[in-house]
Each structure stands twice: as C-alpha cells, then as structure tokens.
C-alpha cells in the first residue's frame, strides 16, 4: 500500500460561507481551488451556498492499482495539450534517457566520462525546468486566490500585490486557502498602516489660502467649501479669482459668493491682485482671503510664468495643489516639477464621486510626497468635503462605510 495525494472535484453545500469553507478545509488534505459558486434560495428567508471545488486528498493505493493509476496518468498527460515548459521538460527526460543508454552501451572509459558529464548537465537542466514549472503553477494559484481577486476588485494596483501577499502569508498562512472572513480584518489594518499618518490643517490659522490646479479639476467649488467651513466657525471671508480664462467661471463663482454673503473680487493682473488683497485686508477687514488662481494648461510655460508672478504677490499661508481622483501620479509629478518655485503645502483630491474604485487614491498616498489635506466627493458645499484620516480612507477603499464627515 502507498499513500498518495490526488486532486478530486467535490460539491459542498452550507447555509453560510464560513461553514462552507470550513467543510472544504476539513475535506481537503492541502490547498484547494474553488471553480464555481452558486446561491440557492430555500424559501423566502433562507438560502444555501453551494460551490464546486478541486481539493487534494491523501489516499492509500494498492500496488496493482497504483500501477494502473500511473498508466492512466501517463495516458492523460499524453493526450493533454502541453505548454512550452512541459514540452521542454519531456525533451530533457528523453535526452536524459538516451544519455543513460549510451553510457551503458559503450565500453570506452573516455566516452563514458564524456557521456556522464552530459548526463549531469541534462539532470541540472531538468531540475531547473522543474523549478520553473513549480514556480509558474504556484504563481497561478496565488493569482486566482480570493485574496488577490479582492485586491483587484477594490482597485489596488498589481504593483502593490506582492507586498500584501508576503505580509498576509507571514501572518495568516497560505494565501490560496484564506477566506474573506480571515483576510478582510487583516487587510483593513494593513492598508491603514501603509497610509502616511494624517495631520489635519487648522484652517482658522491660515489667513491667505491659495488653490492652484488645472482647469476643470474643481478649484472654485473646493475654495467655496473651505470658505463655508470658516464661516461655520464664525470667521469672515473674502474671495479673489484670477481665473478669468474659462467661459462663465466668474459668473459661477459670483453665484457661490452671493450664497455665502461674501465679497468676490476679480483680478486680471498681478497689480490688480495686490490691490484686491489690500482692499480685503484694510477696507473690508475680513479674517481670511481665499484665492482661486489661473487654471488652463500647466504644461504650458507661459501659464507657469503667470502663476509664478501671481505667487510673488500673494505670499499665501497655505497653498494647495488640486487634482481629480482619476489623475495619474506621473502627470501630477511632472506638473509639480514645473511648479518648483511655488511651495506646495499639500493636496486636495476632488471628484471621488466620479470614480468607481479608490485604488487610484491609494496610489496617491504611496507615490506623492506631500500630504493629502482634503478630499471632495460632490457639489454640495456644506457636505462634500472631508479630511481623509486613515480610517476614512480604509472605510471608503473597502466599501464598508461611505458616510464621511465634515471635519475642519
């Protein structure tokens, strides 16, 4: 009698997913793979989970039966389509066998030595092919695991998968066998730890606030949201816009300012900007001045030069670069390189409501050096702006709580 691990397809049924995976783990002697999942309704309030799984089982095989099983396995392997790695392995085995026969048939010592060297070389190649094939099969099992499928589902870029896979296997075991109930609490903590600690900005301490960003990213509405938060704290605000390029931009801004009962001044040159700041400071006497800078194309040298000139006049206490949630980190870093003369204190990520997944936001936290100070996810000025703490980000990323908050 010989003990042997075999793969077997079985159907499992249970009333909960946790019970279902417990049954599979109890039935399998090693890693298993789910090939099909179904849910059946049993009346109005009950349902049954059913999966088809390939499990590994240790069985005892009599010698005669083992010979039959080996012959059957050889027949299946002959008839199964082979990939390039398997074909290479079979070729090496054929060459290895031919070398052994040659070594036995020739009486010459010198020829035996040469053949033995070739034999050892083929053996080494075969070992390398075996190693490559094993690694390939292992990576395929990892890629099809529930854990990796979940990372893809929430939009985490594949470049970050190896880090999470290594950590989860170290702490929870083989990733192929993990159920969602096992890895989800762990993943929440792991993502939270990987995000830089959030340090909130005290908005009341920032007298002159300037937002910069390309046309269409939502600078104006974001600036109005910050103004509303200051008004809620009993502060007074005044707005200045230098972004007169976009059609209807000033009229839209004026509508927001009227709702907040705040003054808006349009400045078309650095000189007018200086006059507007002096007016709001010494005549209106507002507590805070919020400035919407020129938009347009930041890859254009003329636009960057205009921004530099405005910045020398403004000298803000807080400067935020604004971009939307679908932006690429490569573009952001390229633009920041062009803004080297303007110190950026932090980022504001807008339009989170216009992206289905927050995986791209996670990339921002890993690849950008400045902190993300606020995020926005809608048009309502009193609601759709949030301070992205580690908990807020993980809740949104894992889709467990979409409430957010109105912290200042």
3-state secondary structure of 386: strand
- Indicate the class that CATH gives domain 1-80: alpha beta
Residue 94 pLDDT grade (very low, low, confident, very high; cuts 50, 70, 90)? low
pLDDT beyond 80 at 49: yes
Backbone phi and psi for residue 230, each to the nearest 5 degrees, phi listed first? -65, -40
Q: How many CB atoms lie within 10 A of CB 385?
A: 26
**pLDDT score at 368:** 93
Residue 356 pLDDT grade (very low, low, confident, very high; cuts 50, 70, 90)? confident
Among left, alpha and beta (phi > 0; psi -120 to 50; other), residue 11 is beta
Looking at the chain, the whole-number percentage of residues with pLDDT higher than 70 is 79
Residue with tokens 């996670």: 362
CA distance 127 to 135: 12
Q: Work out whether strand 288-292 and strand 237-241 pair parallel, antiparallel, or are unpaired.
A: parallel
**pLDDT score at 232:** 96
pLDDT beyond 80 at 318: yes
Contact by Cβ (8 Å): 239, 210:
no
Give the pLDDT mean for 11-24: 86
77 vs 315, residue with greater confidence: 315
Residue 273 pLDDT grade (very low, low, confident, very high; cuts 50, 70, 90)? very high
Backbone phi and psi for residue 4, each to the nearest 5 degrees, phi listed first? -145, 140
3-state secondary structure of 42: coil
Residue 179 pLDDT grade (very low, low, confident, very high; cuts 50, 70, 90)? confident
pLDDT digits (tens, 9 = 90+) for 215-265: 889 999 999 999 999 999 999 999 999 987 776 789 989 999 999 999 999
CATH hierarchy code of domain 203-397: 3.40.50.300
Residue spans of the domains in the chain: they are: 1-80, 203-397
Give the pLDDT mean for 66-94: 56
**pLDDT score at 111:** 47
Residue 109 pLDDT grade (very low, low, confident, very high; cuts 50, 70, 90)? very low
Of 291, 307, 297, 296, the C-alpha closest to 222 is 291
Residue 22 pLDDT grade (very low, low, confident, very high; cuts 50, 70, 90)? confident
**Long-range pairs, 271-277, Cβ under 8 A, ≥24:** 273/240, 273/242, 273/310, 273/313, 273/314, 274/313, 276/240, 277/208, 277/240, 277/313, 277/314
Question: Residue 212 pairs with which residues in a beta bridge?
Answer: 321
**Long-range pairs, 274-280, Cβ under 8 A, ≥24:** 274/313, 276/240, 277/208, 277/240, 277/313, 277/314, 280/238, 280/240
**pLDDT score at 275:** 96
Give the pLDDT mean for 100-114: 49
169-190 burial, b if ≥16 CB within 10 A, otherwise e? Answer: eeeeeebbbbbeebbeebbbeb
DSSP code of 44?
Answer: S
pLDDT digits (tens, 9 = 90+) for 324-355: 999 999 999 999 999 989 999 999 999 999 98
Average pLDDT, the chain: 82
CA distance 293 to 74: 73
Q: How many CB atoms lie within 10 A of CB 359?
A: 17
CA distance 307 to 342: 9
Q: Helices in 80-179 by DSSP H: which ranges?
A: 84-105, 109-143, 146-153, 161-172
Q: How many CB atoms lie within 10 A of CB 4?
A: 12
**pLDDT score at 216:** 87
pLDDT digits (tens, 9 = 90+) for 374-383: 999 999 999 9
Query: Which tokens hold the place of 387?
Result: 């301070």
Query: Which tokens hold the place of 385?
Result: 């702006």
99 vs 366, residue with greater confidence: 366
CA distance 203 to 216: 24
CA distance 270 to 312: 9
pLDDT beyond 60 at 127: yes
Chain-centre distance for alpha carbon 232? 35
């Amino acid at each position: 009698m010989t003990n042997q691990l075999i793969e077997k397809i079985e159907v499992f049924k249970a009333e909960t997913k946790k019970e279902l995976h417990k049954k599979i783990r109890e039935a399998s002697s090693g890693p298993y793979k789910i090939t099909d999942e179904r849910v059946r309704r049993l009346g109005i309030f009950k349902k049954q989970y059913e999966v088809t799984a390939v499990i590994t089982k240790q069985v005892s095989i009599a010698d005669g039966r083992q010979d039959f099983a080996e012959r059957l396995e050889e027949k299946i392997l002959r008839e199964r389509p082979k990939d390039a790695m398997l074909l290479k392995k079979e070729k090496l085995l054929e060459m290895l066998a031919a070398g052994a026969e040659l070594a036995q048939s020739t009486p010459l010592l010198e020829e035996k030595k040469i053949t033995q060297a070739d034999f050892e070389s083929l053996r080494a190649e075969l070992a390398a092919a075996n190693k490559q094939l094993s690694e390939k099969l292992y990576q395929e099992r990892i890629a099809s695991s529930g854990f990796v499928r979940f990372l893809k589902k929430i939009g985490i870029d594949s470049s970050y998968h190896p880090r999470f896979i290594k950590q989860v296997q170290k702490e929870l075991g083989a990733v192929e066998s993990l159920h969602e109930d096992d890895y989800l609490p762990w993943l929440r903590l792991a993502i939270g730890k990987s995000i830089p600690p959030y340090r909130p900005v005290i908005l009341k301490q920032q007298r002159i606030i300037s937002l910069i960003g390309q046309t269409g990213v939502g600078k104006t509405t974001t600036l109005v949201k910050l103004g509303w938060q200051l008004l809620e704290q009993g502060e007074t605000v005044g707005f200045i816009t230098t972004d007169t390029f976009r059609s209807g931009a000033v009229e839209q801004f004026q509508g927001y300012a009227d709702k907040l009962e705040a003054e808006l001044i349009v400045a078309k040159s650095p000189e007018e900007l200086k006059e507007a700041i002096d007016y709001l400071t010494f005549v209106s006497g507002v507590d805070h001045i919020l400035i919407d800078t020129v938009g347009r194309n930041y890859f254009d040298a003329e636009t960057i030069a205009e921004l530099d000139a405005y910045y020398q006049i403004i000298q803000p206490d807080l400067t935020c670069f604004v971009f939307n949630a679908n932006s690429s980190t490569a573009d952001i870093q390229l633009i920041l390189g062009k803004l080297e003369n303007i110190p950026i204190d932090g980022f504001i990520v807008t339009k989170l409501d216009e992206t289905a997944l927050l995986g791209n936001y996670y990339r921002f936290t890993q690849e950008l050096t400045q902190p993300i100070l606020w995020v926005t996810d809608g048009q309502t000025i009193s609601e759709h702006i949030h301070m992205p703490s580690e908990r807020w980000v993980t809740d949104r990323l894992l889709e467990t709580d979409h409430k957010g908050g109105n912290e200042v």
